Structure 1
């Protein structure tokens, strides 16, 4: 079953990569109204961040908008992991306490399964398995919460160091990612309901 889903996802990406992306601003606004995300949501879904892959993804129907949102948070999760890694690297010369270094390492470890779960959500969406996609996305938030607890303990023995800059960046990126994951969950419900046609959201299967 995994092979057909992978093939469908790969074919979708090929089509998106070599075609001019179609964007429907009105539908994006409707999706954000459904998600109660306001202008922030609209700006997020319209911003391809000059990324080649994101730039090629259609946002012209509920499915493609949901796919775009999942690809964005997948990339954001990788970026947060890189920010934490930068903090760890700076910590070797900036007097990070052993406890703080351990907390950062644990946070970084949580992002490996989080990114994997988001990727599983992308694959599920390619097969239109919306409940599974929602379940994977919801489970990924547990790793984000675990990382948040580690980031909350970040301290250095010096002020105004490069390590402090990385700490602030890691915290801000994690918080932003968490808000975008919440948006993506609502946008998945929007797509699953046929673009808001159905009022009830689709329930995820039991764990």
Structure 2
């Protein structure tokens, strides 16, 4: 008889049932397993397992990393330069279009003003009740406006023959009128604008 059999005789049937219900093996805890594996690794009896293929770390040489950074910077600067070129080209086209539109508006304004100038002169010549002084004043204002307009045309286009001819005619009339003005030096003339 074994010592366990003697103990079995001392147990009551309820105690024996509880004793028989106990597991014959016991699972060691996770901590015990980790300590055992660590101790075996320290002694060189167990090697670390190879990492799975999905968790493998990829290492790049420093030259590759430097080249990738340089390529990224070059790509960024190239995009920046291209964007500035496109933007400046669009800005230049926009400014040119605005200048053309302003020139067209100025030309239209000159046309409207010129038409109004000619209509006003026509009305002045048709008015019969205008006094001689009124007509004289109208002619002087019309002449000074014509001279100012011819000056501006010559400034825009120095080779314009019509504007140059008008200015030359005004200069000739001024030199011819100079002796006559000396005779009437005592009189004052007023030019209304």
TM-score normalised to structure 1 length:
0.27
Higher relative contact order (CA 8 A, sep 6+): 1
TM-score normalised to structure 2 length:
0.28
Which one has the largest radius of gyration? Answer: 2
